[in-house]
Amino acid sequence: MSEPNRSLEKSLANLQRTIEERTAKEGKPTEAEKPAHKTADIIQLPLWPEVTRGTPNSFLRGALFAAIQGKEREYFKGKILATRDGIKIRFTGMQLDQSDLDVWEQAAELARSHPLGNVCHFTIHGFLKALGRQTGKSQHEWLKDVLRRLMSSGVEITHGRYTYGGSLLEFIHDETAETYALRLNPTILGMYKAGWTAVDWDIRQKLRRKPLALWLHGYLSGDVENYDTKIETLHRLSGSKTKELWKFKQNLKNALADIEMATDGQIKATIEEDMVSFERLRTSTQTRHITKKSRKKALPK
């Protein structure tokens, strides 16, 4: 063997010995030191367009986030909430409203770029800006209250074959840095597998402080077919506190007018006696979905 080759071989042997000694000295990583997620175990939310907020249909098709004012909240203990067929929600905690849904949707927006179960960091100021809200002290306190309400809520949601049980989110607050670490339970993914909707965020911003219009927009966004619906059914599913149906009907007319304006006529509705008929301009994706469903129904059994 030539002199240069012997020198190279000796250098490689020394390098290998150094690596082995360092590995033996430092030891293998403990279970606690190993990465929390193997590549195969990474669970992430679906990717939706940034101008929307991905929301489970079970959140939109019933009274989990009710069409109420904050002052109308009640405390529920294991209450079965009104929902569409195929969904069952049992709820414990302070009643949630549409502003709480705004916060949850923004939390999901932050979480979608992280594996579920991992934390994502944010500041109260930045979160409020993303919601299109003011950033003063009162708004800081408002957001903290909403986060506490979502954290302390206990839900058991069954949608089809999927069931989720737990709180709606978890967080850690660093008082000094004024930052939050947010976490969504990985099993919330089941609610997305059961069906979810990309809700137009700009339209929700236009409808802010109009609880019934916000609820109706979410309800209609989560269903691509134009079903005629009884006013009484919408009253029940929305969780409205308006006791008289005639008064709710008037509120409904106003809410639908707000939606038509906010959507530039993309969603229209007609109320005749006790029924509401909806007319919506569908996207090409929605049209394909309905056509596919119709063909399946038409196939001979």
For the segment 169-193, the average pLDDT, to the nearest whole number, is 87
Residue 5, pLDDT above cutoff 90 = no
Cβ–Cβ < 8 Å for 276, 123: no
DSSP string over 155-210:
EEEEETTEEEEE-S-EEEEETTTTEEEEE--GGGHHHHHT-EEEEEHHHHHHTTT-
Residue 176, pLDDT above cutoff 70 = yes
Over residues 134-175, the pLDDT tens digits come to 999 999 999 999 999 999 999 999 999 999 999 999 988 887
Question: For residues 178 and 293, which has the higher predicted lDDT (pLDDT)?
Answer: 178
For the segment 176-183, the average pLDDT, to the nearest whole number, is 82
Cβ–Cβ < 8 Å for 195, 104: no
Q: Which amino acid is at 16?
A: Q
Residue 295, pLDDT above cutoff 60 = no
Over residues 84-142, the pLDDT tens digits come to 999 999 999 999 999 999 999 999 999 888 887 778 889 999 999 999 999 999 999 99
List own/partner pairs for 159-168 with CB under 8 A and 24 or more apart: 159/56, 159/57, 159/58, 159/86, 159/87, 159/191, 159/194, 159/195, 160/86, 160/194, 160/195, 161/194, 162/190, 162/191, 162/193, 162/194, 163/190, 164/188, 164/190, 164/191, 168/104
Residue 79, Cβ density class (10 Å: 0-12 exposed, 13-18 middle, ≥19 buried): middle
pTM of the model: 0.79
Over residues 26-71, the pLDDT tens digits come to 444 444 444 444 434 567 889 899 999 999 999 999 999 999 999 9
